[in-house]
Homo-oligomer: A and B are copies of this chain.
Amino acid sequence: MKTYKGYLIDLDGTMYKGSEEIAEATRFVSRLREKQMDYLFVTNNSTKRPEEVAAKLQSFGVPAEAKHVITTSMATAHFIKERDKGRSVYFIGQEGLKVALEKEGLSYEETHPDYVVVGLDQEVTYEKLAKACLAVRNGATFISTNSDRALVTERGFLPGNGAITSVVEISTGQAPIFIGKPEAIIVEQAMERLGLPKEDVVMVGDNYDTDILAGIRAGIDTLLVHTGVTKKEHLLNVQQAPTWVVDTLDEVPV
């Protein structure tokens, strides 16, 4: 198996399972650290700040700091700033999105925003969605942090951000720009941060439909690990196989 200089790594199902450590993943990142390889954790979780994401990884012994994390909220805020077509945003979302937008110098505006951003918000209400619909119909560019259909919780599968986003999409007839995996946007931003050529970077994840597709769309190699969502039999029907497939990250040379 080829070794790389930069590793983009998914979180849930790859680095841990909910609140459980995946020991092979902790060892894998520790080995990357020893060899001074670059790595970034790339997550569709829009609700957490990068410090919180890093703290959870640290609790499992993974060498991770905030600078190793890119969330869909950060990617969304960066996307808006780079686009340079207005800086006012009406958003539905939690702390992670609020902080990310502020860090990029974007301002909050309810009635005539340049952008409407929908991120996961477990306090979402009809009124919040109504404001989003009005602003999109009023010409705001419609962005969604990610299209995940379900949120895995101890209670079961709750509505994911893709499901919440659909309210605005169905009501206005406007499709959003999605930023998170399986879109290439978040991966391209992660690559920009690493500053490495495409052939030196690999996307590592457990979910073919998000992690691996995002890597494929961004034109980089991909590594699927069978510690999470995608089972071996799912790979029989995919259009393009991952570059590499392993049972655990212990099998991956660095």
Contacts and interface: CB of A to CB of B under 8 A. Distances in A.
Contacts of A133: 150, 156-159, 163
Q: Which of A129, A133, A134: most chain B CB closer than 10 A?
A: A133
A113 to B, nearest CB: 15
Contacts of A168: 159, 163
Interface string A141-153: 0000000011000
Contacts of A134: 155-158
Nearest to A138: B156
A192 interface: no
A169 B170 CA distance: 12
A129 B159 contact: yes
A163 B171 CA distance: 5
A64 interface: no
Interface residues of A, number: 32
Contacts of A129: 159, 163
B126 A126 contact: no
Interface stretch (A27-35, A116-124, A180-188, A239-247): A116-124
Interface in A150-201: 150, 155-160, 162-164, 166-173
A19 interface: no
Contact of A167 (B122, B125, B138, B163): B163
A137 interface: yes
A130 interface: yes
Contacts of A123: 125-126
A127 B158 CA distance: 9
Given A124-B125, A166-B166, A171-B163, A130 B155 contact: yes
